[in-house]
């Protein structure tokens, strides 16, 4: 486990939660479980004491989520595509290509396992986008929104983002792990930001026009593990 900030620990009885605190220019404080620890993105005007007091008051709830997060870290030889688990077999060969056979993915590459998994997720995510792009474009045209290019990457705390200056949408390749409706939701979420940049009531009104059933996926997307 590698972090840029040293891990600290909250202890209640014999229960322990490893955590780090990141000082962000946020209006609110955000809590997210990563690879075996709790990442706290502290609000700009919140104190460390008040933030940790909140965790301590709700310790049991946080601890259960921490235990659950430990089981969401996939093994190095596992790839999950649209809720289906595959075992990964690597054949050492120059270049990169892969094939899916039943419950196994065979990758032919001399890259590291992490890079191989990344390229598999990225490639599959692009295939998923191709399945829904026509529907997306129809919704965008109806709401007078111009299509934007997609960029892909690995992100520790987000599934997607809209970049106003570059005029592009960034998608986390981890979206390939879940149901395609989560991908659709994230894309529409980011397109809604082209109209309203914050998460105000006006933003959700736009999002509701783009995806009337967005609430279902908005409430459950954090169940999708962001770890590759």
pLDDT at residue 4, rounded to an integer:
47
pLDDT at 2 over 50: no
pLDDT at residue 73, rounded to an integer:
65
Rounded mean pLDDT of 31-59?
A: 90
**Non-local CB neighbours of 184 within 8 Å, separated by 6+ positions:** 132, 135, 136, 211, 217
Cβ contact 171:186 at 8 Å: yes
Express each pLDDT in 146-199 by its tens digit.
Answer: 999 999 999 877 899 999 999 999 999 999 999 999 999 999 999 999 999 999
Between CA 48 and CA 46 the distance in angstroms is 7
pLDDT at residue 71, rounded to an integer:
63
Express each pLDDT in 145-157 by its tens digit.
Answer: 999 999 999 987 7
Q: Is the pTM of this model over 0.85?
A: no
Rg (CA), the chain: 19
Express each pLDDT in 86-142 by its tens digit.
Answer: 999 999 999 999 999 889 999 999 999 999 999 999 999 999 999 999 999 999 999
Rounded mean pLDDT of 73-96?
A: 91
Rounded mean pLDDT of 51-64?
A: 94
Q: Please, what are the domains in the chain?
A: 8-71 (no CATH), 115-223 (3.30.2010.10)
* b (16+ CB within 10 A) / e for 153-181: eeeeeebbbbeeeeeebbbbbbbbbbbbb
């Amino acid at each position: 486990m590698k972090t840029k900030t040293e891990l600290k620990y909250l202890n209640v009885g014999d229960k322990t939660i490893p955590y780090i605190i990141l000082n962000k220019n946020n209006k609110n404080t955000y809590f997210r479980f990563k690879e075996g620890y709790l990442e706290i993105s502290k609000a700009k005007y919140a104190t460390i004491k008040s933030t940790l007091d909140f965790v301590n008051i709700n310790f049991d709830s946080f601890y259960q989520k921490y235990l659950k997060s430990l089981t969401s870290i996939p093994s190095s030889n596992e790839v999950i595509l649209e809720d289906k688990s595959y075992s990964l077999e690597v054949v050492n060969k120059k270049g990169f290509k892969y094939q899916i056979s039943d419950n196994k993915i065979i990758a032919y590459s001399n890259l590291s396992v992490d890079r191989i998994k990344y390229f598999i997720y990225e490639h599959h995510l692009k295939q998923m986008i191709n399945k829904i792009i026509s529907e997306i474009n129809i919704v965008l045209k109806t709401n007078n929104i111009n299509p934007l290019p997609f960029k892909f990457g690995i992100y520790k705390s987000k599934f997607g983002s809209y970049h106003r200056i570059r005029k592009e949408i960034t998608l986390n390749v981890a979206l390939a792990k879940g149901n395609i409706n989560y991908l659709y939701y994230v894309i529409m979420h980011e397109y809604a930001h082209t109209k309203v940049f914050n998460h105000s009531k006006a933003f959700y009104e736009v999002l509701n026009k783009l995806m009337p059933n967005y609430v279902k996926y908005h409430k459950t997307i954090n169940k999708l593990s962001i770890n590759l």
